Structure 1
Amino acid sequence: MPKSATSTDFPILETYLDAIWMEKGLSENTLAAYRRDLQAFARWASLRHQKTTDISRADIENYLAHLLQAKRSPRSAARALSCLRGYYRYLLRSGELREDPTLDLDSPRLGRPLPKTLSETDVDALLKAPNLEDPIGFRDRCMLELLYACGLRVSELTGLTLSQLSLNQGVVRISGKGGKERLVPVGEEALHWLQRYLKEVRPALLGETPSDVLFPSRRAQMMTRQTFWHRIKQHAMTAGIQKSISPHVLRHAFATHLVNHGADLRVVQLLLGHSDLSTTQIYTHVARQRLQSLHAKHHPRG
């Protein structure tokens, strides 16, 4: 197991790191992150003439306050606390300590970051960006239409096969995370593009290659997520969109625009394939933020 140059300064930390490396099979990057957090704490304690085995609950609270005062994010401080919890539980089990100073200690409040999204004007410009004279451009237009119409994950989009699509019923059958299936309505606009694509473009992309892939690459194979990510970046540049954009931003736009137009949150949850409603509730905050900005911009007392 690789060790840092300062690891001999803190032998008890390295004993713990060796133990969790063996027990959990941690990657080198994860192990390095644990080491950085633990050594930073040990250095902080040594400046206060303390050892990590002499720490009280109040000391842990002071350390977290120190991290926040040093402009570390609440998420970073919460990760440091999680690391310390594992360390002190190990010391408790090994008999080095009688009490766990991290017991019942609350994590710093994170506050959920709002997802990046696009305005309806931006989405319209993006959808119109691909060159329809080029079969690849036509395919991309169809993929963007479907992505926005259904709120798919990029892996769900690139992995679609003909058997998952029903033009007659106007739905697409998605196999999402954990193998959970959901039926998502496609919508008239996306259906229009799909019908044209299947008739006019897909046969040309496949040539003589038999395939069930709905959106094949130039080589008549299943497209990678990375390829589509680069394609959507190019189309965003063509559309003059300055914001950072990815396929997932269109998924967020799908959900945000539904909520903005009054869609029930549980319906949005089903369409997105979220197993927990709390994951979907972030879009109520996005909608509220949008309403507040509109009020501030247009109300005479805003």
Structure 2
Amino acid sequence: MEIIEKSFVRYLAAEKGFATNTIDAYERDVKQFTQYIHSEKKELKTIRHTDITQYIQYISKPGIAPATLSRKISSLRNFFKFLIEEMVMEEDPMVVIEPPQIVRRLPSVLDVEEVERILYQPDIDSPLGLRDRAALELLYACGLRISELLSLKIENIDFNEGFLICYGKGEKERVIPIGNCAIDFLTRYIARVRGTLERGQSDGILFLSKRGKRISRMGFWKRFREYTSKAGISKRVTPHTFRHSFATHLLEGGADLRVVQTLLGHNDISTTQIYTHITKEYLKKVITEFHPRGKRSTVAMR
């Protein structure tokens, strides 16, 4: 079983081109499933859709998020597709399994003033503060995922043209313009700080830790949380909130939805369309607050 699981992981990377985080999650999901069928004294090649249904009921404990359950089912769908391609199985037990319905929640966003309050928190007179300011400016300016930001190398930045190249989910390449503010702080960070942080082999990583290595997701998250706290932001904010805010602010400013889709690296336009709902709520709020007849009147309609 372990050999099959390892082969599946290689398949996800080589054939499907999935991101590392996705592969790790799928690997955990499949391992959970194989442990379950082992405890039930069943073999892979004998699994039928009724067994899958029973397993889904088994893992559908109170509190499990619909998105998590959906991912676990997706993991199995890919796993059994792989098994059929490798001729380990003849029939796919997942064919009749329906994915759970997910109510897509609107992502949390910051308004422009809130973003700026966070951006102004790092002490740019200190080396790490200047580094963090440059990282935050770039995160917001380009709508990057945190993994994309921390994976950037100096060679990915074209300072003359004002563009960067990043590699998103499935190593999909996209080219994104960089705003002047982000370029300014990046230039200052590289000129004054990065060289002092470098310790031998940095592999060209743009944003370095005190030890001269790539900053960890948790390390960046901790500093980000400090800055949001200092900025007096009470709602739950993560680095990914900057990405949501980037998309929302572009649409509020009149950007075309297809352009925003390209900048975010979304394969499906429906993924980007969720931000139009946020924009509609914002527009409704503007009308309610500022239009002379936008507020609910206590006077009876005539």
TM-score normalised by structure 2 residue count:
0.67
Within 1, Cα distance between the matches of 2:294 and 2:278? 22
Q: Secondary structure at the match of 1:172?
A: strand
Corresponding position of 1:270: 262
Q: Secondary structure at the match of 2:215?
A: coil
Corresponding position of 2:179: 187
Corresponding position of 1:100: none
Question: Percent of aligned positions with the same letter in both sequences?
Answer: 38
CA gap 1:17/1:185 in 2 versus in 1, 3 angstroms? farther
Within 1, Cα distance between the matches of 2:294 and 2:214? 54
Does residue 301 (structure 1) correspond to residue 298 (structure 2)? The answer is no
Within 2, Cα distance between the matches of 1:262 and 1:162? 32
Instruction: State the AA in 2 paired with 1:187.
Output: G
Within 1, Cα distance between the matches of 2:241 and 2:259? 19
Shift of the alpha carbon at 1:196?
1.0
Shift of the alpha carbon at 1:200?
1.3
Q: Secondary structure at the match of 2:166?
A: strand
Corresponding position of 2:219: 227
Does residue 37 (structure 1) correspond to residue 57 (structure 2)? The answer is yes
CA gap 1:36/1:174 in 2 versus in 1, 3 angstroms? closer
Within 2, Cα distance between the matches of 1:167 and 1:39? 50
Instruction: State the AA in 2 paired with 1:255.
Output: A
CA gap 1:18/1:123 in 2 versus in 1, 3 angstroms? farther
Corresponding position of 1:175: 167
Within 1, Cα distance between the matches of 2:233 and 2:213? 30
Does residue 217 (structure 1) correspond to residue 237 (structure 2)? The answer is no
Unaligned residue ranges in structure 1 (runs of 5+): 1-12, 26-30, 42-70, 87-102
Q: Which residues in structure 2 correspond to 1:92-103 (within 5 Å)?
A: none
Corresponding position of 1:201: 193
Corresponding position of 1:251: 243
Corresponding position of 1:163: 155
Within 2, Cα distance between the matches of 1:39 and 1:206? 46
Q: Secondary structure at the match of 1:132?
A: coil
CA gap 1:228/1:256 in 2 versus in 1, 3 angstroms? same
Within 2, Cα distance between the matches of 1:116 and 1:23? 44
Larger radius of gyration: 1
Within 1, Cα distance between the matches of 2:178 and 2:277? 26
CA contact (8 A) 2:202 2:213 kept: no
CA gap 1:278/1:16 in 2 versus in 1, 3 angstroms? farther
Superposed CA offset, 1:27-58 (max 9, x none): xxxx9x965835999xxxxxxxxxxxxxxxxx
Matched residue pairs, number?
A: 234
Within 2, Cα distance between the matches of 1:105 and 1:203? 54
CA contact (8 A) 2:174 2:263 kept: yes
Within 2, Cα distance between the matches of 1:270 and 1:125? 28
